[in-house]
């Protein structure tokens, strides 16, 4: 076995160029397969980490995915609002520890505006219960102050004290702008890799203030000036949704039932983890498609290796005849070829993994900086090890094809080579 | 008619090549017939052939005389359809395929016409390869250099040096050698671990005349030192005088006669 291994490696070294190409083909397919797997798990993790530490999300009666999409991902719109009194009632509920009210509906240059209060910066958590942190500035305090996410600051080039005019709805057209009341940036949040990065945060009172004169849904009356609005005290009448943190997780389903059965208005409460899971499973088709594509790349890599092995086989009949003359049994010839494919495949896997980790190590800091996504360089997961094992095994199985034909050739050729 | 003919020819074809009857025979063929799987007629039909041990035998065989087939039988790659082949006292027809491979590894040194060496191994490694598949040959090689740290390499170096291959080329890649040098390396490998049979298939056909004789002299000298039997196959009759004994495969092989008869009959029909 040891001498066969030496023969195999020497013979491979002798055919450096084609063997290196085969190794690279396998390496690239392994890189792709494991890369897709990494992206998938990281995406899944970051997706699941969009919101954490929140026990329930409450909004107007709707499906749980819809509620999750507009409250957490800022996608789509709320079906209805929640009355401020209802919110107050649940805020005072004995099982409830904290709440964060959300008021959505306005935008600025395509970024959603979220009306909330100071509790947001205290209780909103993402990832592994990480709180939001400020790169610059502080939470809003005055009426026309805004805190912007990392992407907003980056894309629009805003800094502290930059002025901004919010627009009603998602359209940034002239007559639907709240230009009577410009805001200024007082805080910029650190990247989180969640929709928070694309959000502009203002106080609930500010949302009320800029909508004076918009009560009917469109701007009909005249809007008072910012100074006048500053002097008024606003109390919100409605909010879009609110987050809930409970004293004890044991009460989650109890409180959820209570919200869903609330008599005065139709409400829905969702458990973020469950809703996120359901939403992710909707994407499993894309996930599968990615996996299938990368498996096909691996298959293509193997076919390339097979082609080059089979081509070289004819040139190597002489080699096999010499070995046979020296008393090598056909099974030695067979194992020699399987061994060669095994070596090519193994080296390909090692190279592919090396490349993957190199790319992750190089790209990790950049991704962390720009997207707030922490990519951990971990040892391969059990699933990845299983994938690698499958690749190595299929490599050996594919090696059987040239091995069989070399075996046949060596049996029929014997001492004479008829080419 | 064929039967009649073969019966008549049998006494002349059965050649006793050595006078001394006490010498054990290295190779004995009896009633051997061989046919390639898809062929209708036997390509080889040798009623009887005995080759004594330690003989240096020249087998004359023009192309098409069944030379390759005979070699594949003598090296136990193939077994005859009929008859028996006894090599060194072992009836190889009774051996299984794996046992025949092992028998070959242990007892036969083989030299090809050309391209004898694995191009990706060094000259020494090529010679040592002969011991990789046979424990017996390995032990024999090691026994000669019991005191050496690398007994097998020492034996390879000894043989290479004896065959006029200087030390500096012994570590080179086999592909860097001239054809004459390659054939001498092949001879060293065939002699490695002192196999009892050395079979050479036209080993000098790619050498020029001077090299040819020198090669044969060296080969014979080492074969004699190893007390091995040498079967040297060639279509070149000018080499015949160098050998003490020779046989003509064209005369020996009845299979060819039958085949040419068949062709004649076919032409007449």
Q: What pLDDT, in 10s, does the model give residues A172-226?
A: 565 567 777 788 899 999 988 888 988 999 999 888 888 776 766 666 666 667 6
Q: Where do the structural domains in chain A lie, given as residue ranges? A: 2-47+283-413, 56-270
| Subunit contact B104:A325, Cβ cutoff 8 A | yes
With CA atoms as reference, the chain A residue closest to B96 would be A329
Would an 8 Å CB–CB cutoff place B119 in contact with chain A? yes
With CA atoms as reference, the chain A residue closest to B98 would be A329
| Subunit contact B133:A416, Cβ cutoff 8 A | no
Partner residue facing A10 (CB), from B71, B115, B120: B120
pLDDT category, B23, cuts 50, 70, 90? low
CA distance A408 to chain B (A): 13
| Mean local confidence (pLDDT), B86-104 | 88
**Which chain B residues contact residue A331 at CB under 8 A?**
98
What six digits make up the tokens of A243? 């987050």
Q: Which of A5, A327, A335 to mutate to test the interface with B (most CBs of B within 10 A)?
A: A327
Would an 8 Å CB–CB cutoff place A11 in contact with chain B? yes
d(CA A252, CA A246) in angstroms, rounded, equals 7
Position B203 pLDDT exceeds 70: yes
d(CA B71, CA A308) in angstroms, rounded, equals 33
Position B1 pLDDT exceeds 60: no
pLDDT digits over B105-137, tens only?
899 998 888 778 888 889 999 999 888 888 888
Position A113 pLDDT exceeds 70: yes
CA-based nearest residue to B191, from B213, B170, B219: B219
Inter-residue contact B215 to B184 (CB < 8 Å): yes
d(CA A116, CA A202) in angstroms, rounded, equals 6
A105 or A46, greater pLDDT:
A105
Write the DSSP assignment of A214-234 as a string of letters: -TTSS--SPPPPHHHHHHS--
For strands A96-108 and A111-116, give the pairing: antiparallel
pLDDT digits over A214-232, tens only?
766 666 666 667 677 777 7
Q: CA dihedral in degrees (A297, A299, A304, A308; nearest 10)?
A: 160
Per cent of chain A over pLDDT 70 is: 91
Burial of B43 (0-12, 13-18, 19+ CB in 10 A): buried
CA distance B8 to chain A (A): 33
What six digits make up the tokens of B249? 């495969």
d(CA A386, CA A99) in angstroms, rounded, equals 44
| Subunit contact A325:B75, Cβ cutoff 8 A | yes
Residue B183's CB is within 10 A of a number of other CB atoms, namely: 29
Q: Which of B67, B104, B117 to mutate to test the interface with A (most CBs of A within 10 A)?
A: B104
| Subunit contact A327:B72, Cβ cutoff 8 A | no
Would an 8 Å CB–CB cutoff place A225 in contact with chain B? no
pLDDT digits over A117-146, tens only?
999 999 999 888 888 999 989 999 888 899
Q: Given the structure tokens 């004594």, which residue do they identify?
A: B52
pLDDT category, B17, cuts 50, 70, 90? very low
pLDDT category, B207, cuts 50, 70, 90? confident
| Mean local confidence (pLDDT), A389-393 | 92
Q: What is the pLDDT of residue B261?
A: 43
Residue A46 is inside which H or E element, if any?
A: helix A16-48
Position B237 pLDDT exceeds 70: yes
d(CA B217, CA B198) in angstroms, rounded, equals 14
Position B254 pLDDT exceeds 80: no
DSSP state of B226: T
Q: What is the pLDDT of residue B101?
A: 87
Inter-residue contact B123 to B174 (CB < 8 Å): yes
Identify the three-state secondary structure at position B40.
coil
For strands A111-116 and A267-270, give the pairing: unpaired
Count residue pairs from A and B with Cβ separation < 8 A. 68
| Subunit contact B101:A14, Cβ cutoff 8 A | no
Within the 168-197 window of chain B, which residues sit less than 8 Å (CB to CB) from chain A? Answer: 189
Position A354 pLDDT exceeds 90: yes
**Which chain A residues contact residue B116 at CB under 8 A?**
322
B2-268: CATH number: 3.40.50.300
Residue A180 is inside which H or E element, if any?
A: none
Position B253 pLDDT exceeds 90: no
B206 or A32, greater pLDDT:
A32
Report the number of secondary-structure helices (H) and strands (E) in chain A.
14, 15
Within the 323-362 window of chain A, which residues sit less than 8 Å (CB to CB) from chain B? Answer: 324-332
With CA atoms as reference, the chain A residue closest to B101 would be A327
| Subunit contact A330:B77, Cβ cutoff 8 A | no
Per cent of chain B over pLDDT 70 is: 86
For strands A130-131 and A125-126, give the pairing: antiparallel
With CA atoms as reference, the chain A residue closest to B129 would be A326
| Subunit contact A327:B106, Cβ cutoff 8 A | yes
| Subunit contact A319:B132, Cβ cutoff 8 A | no
Q: Given the structure tokens 């990790």, which residue do they identify?
A: A364
Inter-residue contact B194 to B228 (CB < 8 Å): yes
Q: Where do the structural domains in chain B lie, given as residue ranges? A: 2-268
pLDDT category, B35, cuts 50, 70, 90? confident
Would an 8 Å CB–CB cutoff place B110 in contact with chain A? yes
Q: Given the structure tokens 């059987």, which residue do they identify?
A: A400
Residue A104's CB is within 10 A of a number of other CB atoms, namely: 22
**Which chain B residues contact residue A330 at CB under 8 A?**
97, 101
* Mean pLDDT across chain A: 85
**Which chain B residues contact residue A14 at CB under 8 A?**
119-120
Sign of CA dihedral A176, A225, A145, A121: negative
Of A408-417, B54-63, B223-232, the one with minimum mean pLDDT is: A408-417
pLDDT digits over A44-57, tens only?
877 788 888 899 99
Q: What is the pLDDT of residue A1?
A: 64
Global ipTM = 0.78
């Amino acid at each position: 076995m040891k001498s066969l291994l030496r023969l195999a490696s020497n013979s491979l070294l002798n055919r450096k160029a084609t063997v290196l190409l085969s190794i690279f083909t396998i390496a690239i397919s392994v890189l792709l397969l494991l890369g897709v797997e990494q992206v998938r798990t990281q995406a899944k993790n970051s997706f699941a980490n969009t919101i954490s530490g929140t026990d329930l999300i409450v909004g107007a009666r709707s499906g749980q995915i819809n509620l999750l999409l507009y409250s957490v991902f800022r996608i789509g719109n709320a079906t209805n609002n929640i009355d401020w009194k209802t919110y107050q009632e649940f805020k005072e509920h004995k099982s409830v520890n904290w709440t964060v009210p959300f008021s959505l509906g306005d935008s600025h240059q395509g970024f959603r505006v979220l009306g909330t209060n100071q509790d947001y910066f205290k209780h909103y958590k993402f990832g592994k219960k990480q709180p939001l942190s400020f790169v610059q500035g502080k939470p809003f305090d005055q009426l026309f102050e805004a805190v912007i996410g990392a992407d907003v600051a980056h894309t629009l080039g805003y800094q502290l004290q930059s002025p901004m005019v919010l627009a009603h709805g998602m359209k940034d057209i002239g007559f639907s702008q709240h230009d009577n009341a410009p805001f200024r940036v007082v805080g910029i949040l650190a990247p989180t890799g969640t929709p928070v990065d694309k959000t502009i945060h203002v106080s609930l009172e500010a949302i009320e203030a800029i909508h004076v004169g918009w009560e009917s849904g469109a701007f009909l009356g005249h809007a008072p000036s910012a100074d006048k609005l500053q002097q008024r005290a606003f109390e919100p009448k409605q909010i879009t949704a609110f987050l809930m943190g409970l004293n004890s997780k044991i009460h989650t389903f109890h409180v959820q039932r209570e919200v869903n059965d609330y008599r005065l208005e139709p409400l829905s409460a969702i458990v973020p983890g469950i809703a996120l899971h359901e939403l992710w499973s909707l994407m499993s088709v894309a996930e599968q498609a990615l996996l299938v594509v990368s498996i096909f790349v691996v298959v293509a890599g193997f076919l390339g290796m097979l082609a080059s092995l089979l081509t070289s086989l004819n040139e190597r009949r002489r080699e096999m005849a010499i070995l046979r003359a020296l008393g090598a049994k056909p099974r030695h010839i067979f194992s020699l070829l399987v061994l060669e494919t095994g070596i090519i495949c193994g080296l390909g896997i090692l190279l592919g993994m090396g490349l993957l980790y190199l790319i992750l190590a190089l790209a990790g800091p950049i991704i962390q900086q720009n997207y707030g996504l922490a990519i951990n360089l971990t040892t391969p997961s059990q699933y990845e090890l299983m994938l690698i094992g499958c690749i190595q095994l299929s490599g050996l199985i594919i090696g059987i094809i040239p091995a069989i034909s070399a075996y046949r050739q060596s049996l029929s050729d014997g001492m004479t080579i008829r080419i | 008619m064929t039967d009649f003919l073969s019966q008549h020819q049998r006494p002349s074809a059965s050649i006793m090549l050595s006078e001394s009857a006490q010498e054990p025979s290295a190779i004995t063929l009896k009633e051997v017939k061989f046919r390639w799987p898809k062929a209708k007629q036997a390509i080889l039909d040798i009623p009887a052939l005995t080759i004594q041990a330690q003989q240096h035998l020249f087998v004359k065989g023009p192309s098409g005389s069944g030379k390759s087939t005979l070699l594949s039988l003598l090296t136990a790659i193939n077994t005859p359809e009929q008859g028996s082949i006894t090599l060194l006292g072992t009836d190889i027809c009774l051996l299984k395929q794996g046992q025949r491979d092992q028998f070959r590894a242990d007892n036969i040194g083989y030299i090809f016409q050309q391209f004898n060496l694995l191009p990706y191994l060094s000259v020494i490694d090529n010679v040592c390869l002969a011991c990789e598949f046979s424990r017996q040959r390995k032990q024999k090689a090691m026994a000669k250099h019991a005191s050496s740290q690398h007994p097998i390499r020492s034996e390879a170096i000894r043989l290479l040096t004896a065959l006029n291959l200087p030390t500096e080329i012994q570590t080179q890649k086999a592909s860097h050698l001239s054809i004459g040098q390659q054939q001498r390396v092949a001879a060293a490998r065939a002699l490695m671990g002192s196999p009892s049979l050395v079979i050479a298939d036209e080993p000098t056909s790619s050498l020029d005349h001077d090299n040819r004789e020198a090669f044969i002299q060296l080969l014979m000298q080492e074969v004699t030192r190893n007390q091995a039997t040498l079967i040297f196959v060639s279509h070149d009759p000018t080499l015949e005088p160098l050998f003490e004994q020779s046989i003509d495969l064209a005369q020996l092989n009845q299979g060819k006669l039958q085949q040419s008869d068949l062709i004649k009959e076919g032409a007449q029909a």
